[in-house]
Amino acid sequence: MIAMKGIVKEFPGVLAVDHVDFELYPGEIHALLGENGAGKTTLMNVLYGIYKADSGETLINGKPVRINNAVDAQSNRIGMVHQHFSLIPAFTVAENLSIGLKDGGFILKEEYVGSKIKEAEDKYGIHIDVNRKVDDLSIGEQQRVEVLKLLFRGANTLILDEPTSALTPQEAENLFLSLKALKAEGKAIVVITHKLYEVMEIADRVTVLRKGRVVFKSMKAGVTSDILAEAMIGKGVELAKYKKEEVKAEGSLVIEKLMVIGERHDTLVNDATIRLNKGEIIGVAGVSGNGQKELVEALFGMRKISAGSITMGGKDITSSNVKARVMSGLGYIPEERKTKGVAISLSLSLNSVIHSHWGAPYLVNKMFNYTAIRKLAKQIISKFNVAAKSEAALAKNLSGGNLQKFIVGREMLNEPDYLIAVNPTSGLDIGATEYVRKELVDYRNRGKGVLLVSEDLDELLALSDQIVVMYRGSTSPSVNQKDFDRLKIGAMMLGEGFTR
């Protein structure tokens, strides 16, 4: 039905899709598998017309086509459900489904939409109340509306991007049943995923991307989850050796049975338990979206804790605010550097004391001591090789990599007892990456505790004393360094062999 040949898509500094061939047949579910950043969504965004390929061609039923935008894709009967839905919350299901419809007359008749939904229910088992507002629907119900939108527009090719990322197991099972019914009708379905169990349950064919390239493609029959896990994650690279020293330091940061409930009453973190001792690095592994973000935000005081406890050095900080946690010895290198790491409109000087501006030597007699503040900023810039004209430069004028080095330097020079580091080498070149990794190990060797949350499994294996895997909001028992097995940990990240 569809053939993409030699597709290339490059963004500044990133070759996201590298000469990819991809085929899709009628009456099949094709799983597009890969880690975060592998190029899966980018490739499908090219097919759907959101991005224009730099080179390569797309054929539909053997004929070359130009897909310059989503309208072109829809005219070729291609539809896509994105991770973030495009429904209007204040509208009813019927009103959302009517947008863009050419049938049913100038003024949409509720009976028309109702009859179309009844048809979908009978054919595909997709049940939904046409009169309910989208804002009142669960995530699973909203997804059903998105699929209905595609069917209403006559899509023969359906692309679903991480369709079960926010679904309950029951909702996911219902979705799978509907997809199988669609397949039986001759529809071609692409499921973008990083979850092995989904591939094993519903896919007929699988293509694995890694770093923008196809590394594996096959019919699913006869393929094991171990084969797919190795294709996704690779056999690893030669890891740099970092000198770790035996450290005698008393004190622990203990997260005990932590639970975080989201705004939609869904469980984002479920009984997470981690013990971080001073003088060690605990790595938190997991594919993005499995609760790491919410765990870190709860730990730093940015998100409400629904159950469980956090103690630091024997002191209960479960109900403490961010300032109290920082003053008690907690540091934070956030993933969102421009929104949570710095105030981009302020100078590097003022950004250098974001987590220490309320006390001496930076605040004296309720006035900023600018001499001390500038001195600290200069230290950060010098020690971490930040490319900035001076400490007076505005944070927004730094490149992403230099901003990251500045944030890492600020938190380390602040000397917290426990440091949360989330993807600390993201956006850095090889030299800067190695420097930051060495600094993290040196920090550990000075008797500090580091909670390293990273999507780079090689980084975790190289730096961590223990690794905990997060999957669907829960944490695994910790794995000691002597027992590190790259493929086993990688498989756990994908839900294979994961235990709480």
Regarding whether 288 and 160 lie in a shared domain, the answer is no
Q: What is the pLDDT of residue 353?
A: 93
How is 366-395 classified by DSSP, letter by letter? TEE-HHHHHHHHHHHHHHTT---S-TTSBG
Please answer whether residues 451 and 419 qualify as being in contact, where contact means their C-beta atoms are separated by less than 8 angstroms.
yes
Residue 264 above 80 pLDDT?
A: no
State the DSSP code for 340. Answer: I
In 3-state terms the chain splits into helix, strand, coil percentages (rounded to 5) of 35, 25, 40
Query: What is residue 446's predicted lDDT score, i.e. its pLDDT?
Result: 94
Q: Inter-axis angle of helices 400-413 and 370-383, to 10 degrees?
A: 120
**Same structural domain for residues 26 and 119?**
yes
Q: Which residue has the higher pLDDT, 83 or 110?
A: 83
Same domain, 376 and 478: yes
Q: Are 416 and 331 in contact (CB under 8 A)?
A: yes
CATH number of the domain bearing residue 431: 3.40.50.300
Of 233, 268, 288, which residue sits at a domain end? 233
What are the φ and ψ backbone dihedral angles of 58, each rounded to 5 degrees?
Answer: -120, 135
- Range with the poorest average pLDDT among 146-160, 164-178, 263-277, 410-424: 164-178
Is 405 a member of any domain?
Answer: yes
Q: Are residues 180 and 317 in the same domain?
A: no
Residue 149: the pLDDT is 85
Total Cβ atoms within 10 A of residue 447: 17
Confidence of residue 106 (pLDDT cuts 50, 70, 90): very low
Confidence of residue 121 (pLDDT cuts 50, 70, 90): confident
260 and 226 within one domain: no
Query: Which segment of 39-53, 324-338, 372-386, 419-433 scores lowest on mean pLDDT?
Result: 419-433
- Say yes or no: 283 and 155 in one domain: no
Buried b (16+ CB within 10 A) or exposed e, 320-336: beeeebbeebbbbbbbe
DSSP state of 468: E
What pLDDT does residue 167 have? 67
Residue 14's pLDDT band, with cuts at 50, 70 and 90, is confident
Domain that holds residue 306: 252-493
* pLDDT given for residue 445 in this prediction: 95
Using CA atoms, how far apart are residues 184 and 400, in angstroms rounded to an integer?
47
Higher pLDDT, 11 or 313: 313
Cβ atoms 282, 467 nearer than 8 A: yes
71 by DSSP, 3-state: which?
helix
> Is there a single domain that holds both residue 310 and residue 188?
no
Total tally of structural domains belonging to the chain: 2
For tokens 């490149």, the residue is 399
Mean pLDDT over each residue of the chain, to the nearest integer: 88
Residues 394 and 322 in one domain: yes
The confidence band for 400, taking pLDDT boundaries of 50, 70 and 90, is: confident
- 477 CB-contact burial (10 Å; exposed 0-12 / middle 13-18 / buried 19+): exposed
Q: What is the percent of the chain where pLDDT is above 70?
A: 94
Which helix (H) or strand (E) segment holds residue 182: the answer is helix 169-184
